[in-house]
Structure 1
Amino acid sequence: MRARPESDQLAARALRPRVRPGRLTEIPDSKVGQLLAVLDRSGLPGQLEDILAGRPGPSGIRPRTVLAGLMLAVYYTGRATIADAWRVLHFGLRPTARAWLGIPEQAPATAREGIAASRRLYQGLDRITSALDPARCDRRRRLPQADANAHAAAWKDKAGRTAADRLQRLANDLVLTTVQLAQERGHLRAWRGDVGVDATAIPVMAKPDSEHSDSASVEITAGWHFSGGSDKGIFGYSATLLVAAHTRPPGPAGKTQGLVEYPQLCLGLVLDTPTVRTGPNAITLLRHLTELGLPTGTCAADRAYTGCAPANFQIPARRLGYRLALDYKAEDRGVQGSWQGAVLVDGSLACPHIPAALANATHRANDKAVRLRSDELNQAIAQREPYFLKLKQNADARGTIRLQCPAAGPSPSVNCPRRDRLRPHSPRTPGPPQAVIKLGDTRTRASHPAARPTIQLPENEWLAPKTKEELPSVCGASAISVPADAGGDLKTAKFRQDSRYLSSVWDRTYKPIRSHNEGINGRLKSAEMDIGSPKHRRAPGQVAQTLLIAIMISIGNLDILESWLFRSTGEHLTDIDDEPGYGPLSPACESQPRHNAGRHPPPTH
């Protein structure tokens, strides 16, 4: 056999995994069992076994072992690399855990044995990514731009989207397993269903496409991610994340009463090309989350999601039962449209005769003016409130709500001559309040007609009053229905939200949820485990990056759960391994009594 060139031998020595004796840590079986329970419960190893069944070539190392090694590597080192997984599996496990994963009892004793063991892990990961990749290509070198474009196009056709959706589902199932465990143990009982959705940058080590040599990037489906307010892009992927959040209770700032206690977990992950499928990716996560039977509350999103086509984000989110809290660009603020005669002002429907000065108070206001609101703007926002339509019926199963005129009902907020003419007071409808009122009663004073603004009708309507049929529906009908899709009115479907924009309620809703998004990003991109560092997940390709990010986020959720439990009760997750869901749940263990599964599971091969 011909000897390998000296250059190849030197390259092989440079890439050879090395053991660092001073940093070897013996991992307890309880921690291995806990992570194996999460992995097995997600169903990811079993589904990968089914996908790989019948493929040519040797079966090699099992997907369960590869994924378990990566999970242990992330937990103990913060890095999702095969080199760290190799060190953990072969030099950090006890005999019992080795038997669970099919790892030889003796660690590699020579360099050749070490290289062979690491190569088996690399090949195991390569088989997984090859089976899940819609357009498998050589990730070790740059391709001509035309070839790369052809491979990237394969991700967009019908078969490619089916494979990509399957990949995202497998990865998200692993993340949601940690959420299910928290749900079953009652840790999320104080959570009301409020979520924040955001996309964060996932940079890669590969360089972008070259403009000079006509060669494409190794990451053929990557792109440029631009964070809000920045004109400098980051080459890589965008990770759409959901976070469990809550709104701030009303009351003076700084008070702690009414605060809720729950672990602020990441509730979902989708890794995709930046600026592509922004809205659909968020809806995919919301659908996966509703399958768990968790409550639905307010979904807060930044302007990237407000700018989506309504059919891609706003409409399906409302139909899933979520209320929306949105922000707007400068050119979208102020009057945005109308629906059945009502005027859409900053996402809320108002009386058609709301004063123009109030409706246009935020027209083309820049971000600085909105963040640091002047006294005049705050006063105009407060004066708008009586003119907004009142909620008569919450959203039904299709996301349709019922709104009524602000002058209607037992507690009108404005005086309207048109409403008084169309619906005069009857014995069942209380008439004007008595002339004598209690001036010391604040509520009584506020309900008096003199304390409410009066709608100013056009002059010609005083001379020739319009009939009920001639008036818009918001004035002629007792209430109007606003479907989730606004009957095809794109502007109403796109901009409508469930909180008065820039009001105190909106501040208590939108700002805390958005801060929770930033908090989960900071937690997952911390020094201990940084999903934003390409060196912590070196395997190239969208498939590998998706799986590695999912593993890192799952471990991040477990870390959040452990920290929250220790802070709240002083317990550890491994202290309560008798409860369902923990301990190795491999097929060989399912027939064993549950109380023994977490302590002495039989080996699986």
Structure 2
Amino acid sequence: MTFPRTWRDTEKAQRRRPRPVTDAPAEIPDSKVGQVDFLLRHSGALDLIDAELAGRPGPDGLPVRTVLVGVLLALHYHASANLADACRVLLDQLRPTTRAWLNVPEIEPDDPWARNAFCQRVYRSFDRLTTALDPARTDRRRRLPLTEAAVHAAAWEDGAAEHVRRRDLLQQISDRLVLVTVRLAHRRGLFKGWHGDVGADTTAFPAWHHPRSDRRGLASVEITAGWHFSGGSTEGVFGHSATLLAAVSRRHPANHPAAGTRTSRHPQLILGAVLDSPGKRIGPNAVHTLQALVPLGLPIGLLAADRAYTDQTTENFQSHVRRLGYQLALDYKQNQRGIQGGHLGAVLVDGTLACPLVPEALANATTGLDDKTVRDPDEKLRQRLAAREPYFLKRKQGPDRHGTVRLQCPAAGPSPSVTCPRFNRAHRPQAGPPTVVDLTSARSTAAHLSAKPSVQIAPAERLRPPPAKDLPRICRKPTITVRPGDLGKIDKLRQDRHYLGPAWRDAYKPMRAHNEAVNGRVKGHHINIADPKKRLAHGRVAQTILLALMILMINLRTIQDWLRTTTPELTTTPAVEHYDGLTPAPTDFNGLPPPPD
């Protein structure tokens, strides 16, 4: 096999490579600067920042708005949230019009002293912001002794009024930066048809600093960082944990004309982000992001979460989620499957309340099974799962706005799923007129009571029926009310779809797959939140703000890519009279008008 000569001559091949016409950095269109400036202004984060910085001693310095716009442009063009890259963008890549917008002076490219002075202004402006929001400002240039670092780390956990206020303000700024693209996408109608399904996940947010050293007695520069362990992993990642909520979608059921496909098409945006120490406030952080979505008026549907959220206490996660109106789709660990407890006589089987006389073999069909067997069940397990479906309590009403549901005995109602001698004896249903069953119709024969599973009772109960007062509550009154938290500790295991059933598989599996796809996009595409070298600023305040800016640009890119691929008429941008901040503007359009003085 012969190769071209240029392949055999490396130097000649390098000389033939295309080169840019000039070594000067490319100029950023004014429309792109106007777009990110529009998003930043309409997020409302600058209002909170300006109010916090007002009245602080010292000169005002470079506006925080200029620094944040520079970081957003550096993320878009260089996939970096480093202040050094933001300085290069502000100094070398802006046109005169946008320089005037952002108060960036004209500096000669060959004047190193002037360039260094401007960079120092950028760093001081960002440091002024992080200092104002930090509950306990510390020296971020060296590793503190463990005892001294513990005092500063405690400010992120204690209940001091000023510490709580600053932590809440920092999270409000982060929420506004993240939600600005969500609000605009919702206003534009990109969530039309979305059922409000949300996927919650906590992912590692690595730090580039060294961890604490017990031998030397020194803490890490990131005093609130720790070791994040992903599910099934024995090796931790040193840094913080980022709680991300994504807009996901379930699948159509098997009997639907579009079975197996997504129920709605929409951009899978990140709806919320919270940065925290690993292993702390996993449930409350997810609840906070859900509460931040309430003012937007988005639909409320299912919430799918992995086993880290299943392990949360009821009062920290499940109860709040249900009160917000969301239904839960959860997974379980090996020791959590099977019979999990009971409530008012009903048995909690894999997250669903069932008849107290459900056969033990069916109730324990998943007891002790490993994850591999559960994810790919054999035919025998599938038959057992299908056989226990009729014994589950039926939903009669709800959930209401408080998360309360009313459940009914499977033998009660006009369409019972089982026949129960105990129920017939306790309630004595009236005998109706004889009905004619069409034996040639499978639907008619399956609906007859004689075709329903029969609940088996003990021979002693059959011979000597106990008094009604001794029967379980679900048997005496076939309808029960279940409120969030009524089941106590085991309420964290309750969910709204039968575990491993068709409805659960159509909801949990695709929603979790979409959640993992979002994690892959934020870590493997243009902007990588898992690369600590792209966000070298010190401190948790700085990392929280940079994470929010990263999510903002990831959402913006997701919206633009989704519009190009799903709406052919928007692949080329028409002439626009009003700039909405989402549609890419023409190159000859100068974005927004200059901001007022």
What is the deviation of 1:598? Answer: 7.2
Is the CA contact (8 Å cut-off) linking 1:91 and 1:107 kept in structure 2? Answer: no
What is the deviation of 1:236? Answer: 0.2
What is the deviation of 1:34? Answer: 1.1
Structure 2 match to 1:450: 450
TM-score, scaled to structure 2: 0.91
Is the CA contact (8 Å cut-off) linking 2:418 and 2:452 kept in structure 1? Answer: yes
> SS of the residue aligned with 1:311?
helix
1:421-476, CA deviations, whole angstroms, 9 ceiling, x for partnerless residues? 2223337xx46x63x52122121111122221111112222233234333222111
CA distance in 2 between partners of 1:164 and 1:374 (Å): 50
The answer as to 2:547 corresponding to 1:582 is: no
Whichever residue aligns with residue 93 of structure 1, its letter is L
Residue 579 to residue 415, structure 1, CA distance change in 2 (3 Å): farther
Residue 600 to residue 324, structure 1, CA distance change in 2 (3 Å): closer
CA distance in 2 between partners of 1:91 and 1:193 (Å): 43
Whichever residue aligns with residue 593 of structure 2, its letter is P
CA distance in 1 between partners of 2:80 and 2:311 (Å): 35
CA distance in 2 between partners of 1:73 and 1:120 (Å): 17
- Tell me how large the CA RMSD over aligned residues is: 2.1
Structure 1 match to 2:488: 489
Residue 573 to residue 33, structure 1, CA distance change in 2 (3 Å): farther
> SS of the residue aligned with 1:556?
helix
CA distance in 2 between partners of 1:28 and 1:88 (Å): 12
Residue 256 to residue 380, structure 1, CA distance change in 2 (3 Å): closer
> SS of the residue aligned with 2:524?
coil
Is the CA contact (8 Å cut-off) linking 1:243 and 1:520 kept in structure 2? Answer: yes
Residue 576 to residue 122, structure 1, CA distance change in 2 (3 Å): farther
What is the deviation of 1:572? Answer: 6.1
CA distance in 1 between partners of 2:575 and 2:492 (Å): 47
Residue 256 to residue 312, structure 1, CA distance change in 2 (3 Å): closer
Work out which of the residue numbers 530, 533, 554 in structure 2 matches 1:532: 530
Q: Which runs of 5+ in 1 are unaligned?
A: 1-19, 584-596
CA distance in 2 between partners of 1:62 and 1:171 (Å): 18
Work out which of the residue numbers 169, 172, 177 in structure 2 matches 1:174: 177
The share of aligned pairs that are identical, in percent, is 49
Is the CA contact (8 Å cut-off) linking 1:199 and 1:241 kept in structure 2? Answer: yes
What is the deviation of 1:97? Answer: 1.2
Structure 1 match to 2:285: 281
The answer as to 2:594 corresponding to 1:602 is: yes
What is the deviation of 1:407? Answer: 0.6
Matching of residues 332-411 of structure 1 within 5 Å:
332-411=336-415
Matching of residues 154-165 of structure 1 within 5 Å:
154-159=155-160, 160-165=163-168
1:6-52, CA deviations, whole angstroms, 9 ceiling, x for partnerless residues? xxxxxxxxxxxxxx973722111111111111101111122111111
CA distance in 2 between partners of 1:575 and 1:128 (Å): 39
Structure 2 match to 1:195: 198
Structure 2 match to 1:92: 93
Structure 1 match to 2:330: 326
Residue 578 to residue 186, structure 1, CA distance change in 2 (3 Å): farther
Work out which of the residue numbers 494, 501, 504 in structure 2 matches 1:503: 501
Structure 2 match to 1:5: none
CA distance in 2 between partners of 1:283 and 1:530 (Å): 25
- When structure 1 is superposed on structure 2, of 360-369 and 314-323 the one drifting more is 360-369
Residue 574 to residue 311, structure 1, CA distance change in 2 (3 Å): farther
- When structure 1 is superposed on structure 2, of 307-316 and 417-426 the one drifting more is 417-426
Structure 2 match to 1:17: none
> SS of the residue aligned with 1:249?
coil
What is the deviation of 1:108? Answer: 4.5
CA distance in 2 between partners of 1:438 and 1:76 (Å): 70
> SS of the residue aligned with 1:446?
helix
Is the CA contact (8 Å cut-off) linking 2:344 and 2:472 kept in structure 1? Answer: yes
Structure 1 match to 2:225: 222
Structure 1 match to 2:315: 311
The answer as to 2:52 corresponding to 1:51 is: yes
What is the deviation of 1:367? Answer: 1.0
> SS of the residue aligned with 1:469?
helix
> SS of the residue aligned with 2:308?
helix
TM-score, scaled to structure 1: 0.90
Is the CA contact (8 Å cut-off) linking 2:251 and 2:259 kept in structure 1? Answer: no
CA distance in 2 between partners of 1:23 and 1:457 (Å): 86
Q: Which runs of 5+ in 2 are unaligned?
A: 1-20, 583-588
What is the deviation of 1:106? Answer: 4.2
CA distance in 2 between partners of 1:598 and 1:445 (Å): 71
- When structure 1 is superposed on structure 2, of 506-515 and 417-426 the one drifting more is 417-426
